[in-house]
């Protein structure tokens, strides 16, 4: 997995996909700052996710952004996306590998070196740590910090994704401490002051 620091954003979808979303996504991806786009939808049917996923896949392909699915390995296979992201309660990586073969599989490690070591052993393509800040998108159960980031960097070259309440005020210190990618959602999609394109332009 190549790490391109100009494209350090790992963009996560809003929890509801409205009609205006697709145009916003095109505008955001055009800026060439996003390496990954993750579709994270919790309470809608597989059929609806398929329809949404097909539209997003076309947009991601056009703007050379890797398209990942959250939690749902079978959806990732059906859509033939670039890969999927697995939480600790989702399908195990070994089983997921059998289904989507050499595609990208990222693993949530919260704030745990033990979980990270297990994910590295199972050949995860990236490790996600957080929350580094308070997040409105997801309940903040686990807190991660820069010390953890430094420790992880010493034990692995596997790319690191930092997650949790990341915005234009706090993103730089994570990059300075060698996080490879920053997972961002609320700051882009739920920003009361800035439209998605304006918000992402502030992350330089």
Summarize pLDDT for 134-154 with one digit per residue, the tens: 877 677 788 999 999 999 999
Per-residue model confidence (pLDDT) at position 140: 73
Query: Would you state the CATH architecture of domain 5-201?
Result: Alpha-Beta Barrel (3.20)
Per-residue model confidence (pLDDT) at position 39: 98
Summarize pLDDT for 60-84 with one digit per residue, the tens: 999 999 999 999 999 999 999 999 9
Summarize pLDDT for 90-125 with one digit per residue, the tens: 999 999 999 999 999 999 999 999 999 999 999 999
pTM for the predicted model, two decimal places:
0.95
Q: Where are the domains of the chain?
A: 5-201
DSSP line for the chain: ----GGG-EEEE--SS--TTHHHHHHHHHTTS-EEEEEE---SS-HHHHHHHHHHHHHHHHHTT-EEEEES-HHHHHHHT-SEEEE-TTS--HHHHHHHHTTSEEEEEEET-HHHHHHHHHTT-SEEEEE-SS--SSS-------HHHHHHHHHH--S-EEEESS--TTTHHHHHHTT-SEEEESHHHHS-SSS-HHHHHHT--
Please determine, for residue 1, whether its predicted confidence score (pLDDT) is greater than 70: no
The mean pLDDT of 162-190, rounded to a whole number, is 96
Per-residue model confidence (pLDDT) at position 134: 82
Per-residue model confidence (pLDDT) at position 19: 93
Summarize pLDDT for 17-55 with one digit per residue, the tens: 999 999 999 999 999 999 999 999 988 999 999 999 999
Per-residue model confidence (pLDDT) at position 4: 62
């Amino acid at each position: 997995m190549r790490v391109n620091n100009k494209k350090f954003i790992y963009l996560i979808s809003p929890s509801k996909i409205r009609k205006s979303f697709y145009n916003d996504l095109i505008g955001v991806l055009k800026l060439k700052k996003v390496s990954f786009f993750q579709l994270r939808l919790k309470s809608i049917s597989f059929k609806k996710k398929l329809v949404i996923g097909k539209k997003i896949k076309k947009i991601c392909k056009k703007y050379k952004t890797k398209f990942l699915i959250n939690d749902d390995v079978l959806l990732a296979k059906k859509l033939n996306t670039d890969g999927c992201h697995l939480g600790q309660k989702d399908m195990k990586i070994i089983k997921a590998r059998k289904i989507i073969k050499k595609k990208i599989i990222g693993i949530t490690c919260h704030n745990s070196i033990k979980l990270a070591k297990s994910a590295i052993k199972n050949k995860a393509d990236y490790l996600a740590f957080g929350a580094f800040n308070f997040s409105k998108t997801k309940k903040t159960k686990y807190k991660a910090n820069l010390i953890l980031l430094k420790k992880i960097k010493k034990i692995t070259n596997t790319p690191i994704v930092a997650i949790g309440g990341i915005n234009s005020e706090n993103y730089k210190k994570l990059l300075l401490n060698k996080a490879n990618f920053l997972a961002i959602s609320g700051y882009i999609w739920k920003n009361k002051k800035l439209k998605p394109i304006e918000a992402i332009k502030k992350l330089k």
